[in-house]
Amino acid sequence: MVSLVVLLIIAVALGLTHGSTSLEWGQVWEPQSTAGRIFWQLRMPRVIVALGAGSALAVAGLVFQVLFMNRLATPFTLGIATGASFGASVSIWLAGVPGLFMTVTTPIGAFAGAGCSVALVWVFGRSRAGHERQSMLLAGVAVSFFFSSLILFVQAISSYAQSFQIIRWLMGGIAVAGYRETSYLVPAAIVFLTMVMLHNRALDLLLTGEELAHARGLHVQRTKQRLFLLTSAMVAIVVSVTGPIGFVGLVVPHMCRLVIGVRHRLLVPAVALAGGVLLVFCDLIARTAMSPAELPVGVFTSMIGAPFFFILLLRQQMRH
Amino acid sequence: MEGLTLVRGGRPILSDVTFQWNPGDTTILIGPNGAGKTSLLRCMIGMHADYRGRIHFDGRDLRSFTPRQRARMIGYVPQVLDTDFNVDVKSFMASARYAHSGNRHSAIIKESLALTETTHLPDAFLDELSGGERSRVMIAAALAQEPKVLLLDEPNAHLDPKHTADLVRLLSRLHGQNMNLVVVAHDWNPFLALRPQVLALSRGELFHSGNWETTVNLLPELYGCAFTEWHASDQSRSYPTFEIDS
């Protein structure tokens, strides 16, 4: 845990000091200078958003893995990301010419799309068929495929420039983040992390299976619904700002579980810290790897996440 | 338990089951596969809350208790642990104390582990344990809830003869402490030493209730196969008998 905090400080420091342009450090404290503006208006909100989004996505993945008792669950398993992507695609398509206007409409579209997919899965979950957690996951996959096809449809009917914008959005990125995004993402993330932390014993119980969770005195249905809605709302907010950044929500909980164990009192803070660190680092690489060009951060999280996940699976195979 | 009825997918899983427990009773719950034994236990732990009829506990409707109040009265040992994650024994035991507040947690947990001879396992992961060790840890966890009623779903299914004997001795001790035991069993013979009441279910309906002597002759009808009864050192044993065409 201590090492995570140290890593966090290093990541934030590097994230603030490195970027596609090197700064004149003497000027940083003068807000009107170029260096000052880059530092305060671009880098600072960007690092904060990466931190908040990374923590939130990682903890969201953790919660979904417990909620659906499935190690492969991610924040996006239930189709929230595809729903958001569809909403974003439609808004890009409707906005016509890409321009400043889009930085407002795309997040709204993405949030609306995410809301649609959550609502669909929720309605399914409330129906009789939704009592089996596997069928809820399948519903998520179905919703996901449905929106994927709609995204392709929107792409097919939009112009070349819009199509490029859509693809770029689908890769996920923190480039657009400014203080407007920070102002709602950060409070939302803090509320979310606090709420999950308050449910740490409930998560411990859910981990032992539904039967035992009931027998040990947990209000299972109510707890699950609350966590589901809370987490979905958080993911929808994150996705509307950053686009679908994959693998943070899958890999980080697993990493932390290997080191820390399954007690959520320690696991939740660890996952939040590690998720934030990972995304700040990935965003740093994305900004500097091919400087001055910027790469979408989603490319790196998956590039690092996928091989790691593969190793994890191999290790598990070997244990059995 | 009065007129307990549970419907799933338009099909009754339990219909109109009425049964009376007396304080300190040990009950074995028997019946063919799909008779509703596990469902009956799940009603009692609040997992199925949409049953019709009533379960009274100390003269109070079970549904009027909060989940934590209920967990302080009824402990449950499931047949298998339904998890996809590597839970270690220590965490598993700790979360069993959810329904209790106070600072006696570690003492109670230690005591429960000692009762089931699993004290040496705190750092092991549940899926690394042998079937018998895992069963014993699950019993220890249920005891850590300090319940008045202990429900066990086929607790001897994974146990070797020695640990089955230990289990029966443990249950007998709990029985002596006036704990109500409800044991679902397909292999009921080990538990007959506890002189249990019998609750026999068939297709969700109450087939028979009474002591073992009144039940033993009904076994062929209940299960649809032949049984042979043996007496060894004053204890009755019933085994299914069958022939194989050769």
pLDDT tens-digit readout, A204-239: 999 998 899 999 999 998 999 899 889 999 998 998
Tally of residues, chain B? 246
Tokens of A183: 């102002």
Helix ranges (DSSP H) in chain B: 37-44, 67-71, 89-95, 105-115, 131-144, 161-176, 212-215, 219-223
Instruction: State the pTM of this model.
Output: 0.88
pLDDT exceeds cutoff 70 at A130: no
Residue A16's CATH number? 1.10.3470.10
How many structural domains are present in chain A? 1
Tally of residues, chain A? 320
A129 Cβ under 8 Å from any chain B Cβ: no
Confidence of residue A264 (pLDDT cuts 50, 70, 90): very high
pLDDT exceeds cutoff 60 at A129: no
Mean pLDDT calculated for residue range B197-226: 90
Nearest to A207 among B74, B85, B96 (CB): B85
Contact B94 A263 (CB under 8 A): yes
Torsion of CA B136, B141, B144, B146, to 10 degrees: -90
Distant-in-sequence, close-in-space partners of B86: CB < 8 Å, separation ≥ 6: A257, A262, B125, B126, B127
Tokens of B210: 């009474």
Of A140-154, A216-230, A279-293, the one with minimum mean pLDDT is A279-293
Contact A212 B82 (CB under 8 A): yes
More confident position, B210 or B9: B210
- Helices A80-95 and A133-157 pack at an angle, to 10 degrees, of 20
B31 Cβ under 8 Å from any chain A Cβ: no
Structural domain of A283 = 2-319
On the 0-12 / 13-18 / 19+ scale of CB atoms within 10 A, B103 is: exposed
Closest residue on chain B to A257 (Cα)? B86
B46 Cβ under 8 Å from any chain A Cβ: yes
Average pLDDT, chain A: 83
Q: How far apart are the first and last CA of chain B?
A: 47
A315 Cβ under 8 Å from any chain B Cβ: no
Residue of A63, A200, A260, A262 to mutate for B, most B C-beta atoms under 10 A: A262
Contact A214 B74 (CB under 8 A): no
Closest residue on chain B to A222 (Cα)? B67
> How many angstroms separate the CA atoms of A77 and A93, rounded?
26
Residue A293, sorted as left (phi over 0), alpha (psi -120 to 50) or beta, turns out to be: beta
- CB contacts < 8 A, A to B, total 94
- In this prediction, residue A177 carries a pLDDT of 64
Mean pLDDT calculated for residue range B86-92: 91
Residues 5-64 of A with CB under 8 A from B: none
A89: nearest Cα among A19, A151, A26? A151
Contact B78 A214 (CB under 8 A): no
A203 Cβ under 8 Å from any chain B Cβ: no
CA distance B214 to chain A (A): 32
> How many angstroms separate the CA atoms of A223 and A202, rounded?
7
Of A167-176, A268-277, B14-23, B84-93, the one with minimum mean pLDDT is A167-176
Neighbours of A101 (CB within 10 A): 12
> How many angstroms separate the CA atoms of A82 and A64, rounded?
17
pLDDT exceeds cutoff 70 at A155: yes
> How many angstroms separate the CA atoms of A301 and A57, rounded?
12
pLDDT exceeds cutoff 90 at B73: yes
CA distance B153 to chain A (A): 11
Mean pLDDT calculated for residue range B176-198: 91
More confident position, A33 or A252: A252
- In this prediction, residue A281 carries a pLDDT of 86
> How many angstroms separate the CA atoms of A126 and A106, rounded?
30
DSSP label of B202 = E
Mean pLDDT calculated for residue range B131-144: 90
ipTM of the complex: 0.88
Give the largest CA-CA distance in chain A: 64
Tokens of A240: 């509307």
> How many angstroms separate the CA atoms of B84 and A262, rounded?
12
On the 0-12 / 13-18 / 19+ scale of CB atoms within 10 A, B129 is: middle
The rounded percent of chain A whose pLDDT value lies above 90 is 23
Of A132-136, A219-223, B6-10, B74-78, the one with minimum mean pLDDT is A132-136
Tokens of A281: 């680092």
pLDDT exceeds cutoff 60 at B211: yes
DSSP label of B127 = G
The rounded percent of chain A whose pLDDT value lies above 70 is 87
Contact B67 A257 (CB under 8 A): no
- In this prediction, residue B163 carries a pLDDT of 86
pLDDT exceeds cutoff 90 at A121: no
Average pLDDT, chain B: 88
B37 Cβ under 8 Å from any chain A Cβ: no
CA distance B111 to chain A (A): 18
**What b-and-e string marks burial along B190-226, b requiring 16 or more CB atoms within 10 Å of the CB?**
bbbebebbbbbbbebebbbbeebeebbebbeebbeee
Our measurement of the distance from residue A307's CA atom to the centroid of its chain's CA atoms, rounded to an integer in Å, reads 19
Distances (CA, A) of B95 to A35, A62, A198, A256, A300: 52, 18, 15, 19, 37
> How many angstroms separate the CA atoms of B201 and B28, rounded?
11
Are A27 and A33 spatial neighbours (Cβ–Cβ below 8 Å)? yes
Contact A215 B74 (CB under 8 A): yes
pLDDT exceeds cutoff 90 at B138: yes
Backbone angles phi, psi at B188, to 5 degrees: -85, -15
- In this prediction, residue A259 carries a pLDDT of 80
Q: Which residues of B touch A66 (CB under 8 A)?
A: 85
Are A61 and A248 spatial neighbours (Cβ–Cβ below 8 Å)? yes
pLDDT tens-digit readout, A64-114: 999 888 888 888 888 888 898 898 888 888 876 555 556 677 888 888 888
Q: Which residues of A touch B75 (CB under 8 A)?
A: 215
A289 SS3 class: coil
Angle, vertex CA A271, rays to CA A305 and CA A44, nearest 5: 85
Are A204 and A220 spatial neighbours (Cβ–Cβ below 8 Å)? no
Contact A204 B91 (CB under 8 A): yes
Mean pLDDT calculated for residue range A13-42: 71
- In this prediction, residue A100 carries a pLDDT of 52
Q: Which residues of A touch B91 (CB under 8 A)?
A: 204, 261-263
Mean pLDDT calculated for residue range B204-233: 87
Q: Which residues of A touch B76 (CB under 8 A)?
A: 211-212, 214-215
Nearest to B47 among A214, A261, A263 (CB): A214
pLDDT exceeds cutoff 90 at B199: yes
Contact A214 B84 (CB under 8 A): no
Q: Which residues of B touch A262 (CB under 8 A)?
A: 85-88, 91
B149: β partners: B74, B180
- In this prediction, residue A6 carries a pLDDT of 78
Residues 130-149 of B with CB under 8 A from A: 141-142, 145
A318 Cβ under 8 Å from any chain B Cβ: no
- In this prediction, residue A102 carries a pLDDT of 61
- In this prediction, residue A105 carries a pLDDT of 78
pLDDT exceeds cutoff 60 at B95: yes
Tokens of A2: 């201590």
The rounded percent of chain B whose pLDDT value lies above 90 is 36
> How many angstroms separate the CA atoms of B234 and B118, rounded?
32
> How many angstroms separate the CA atoms of A50 and A282, rounded?
9
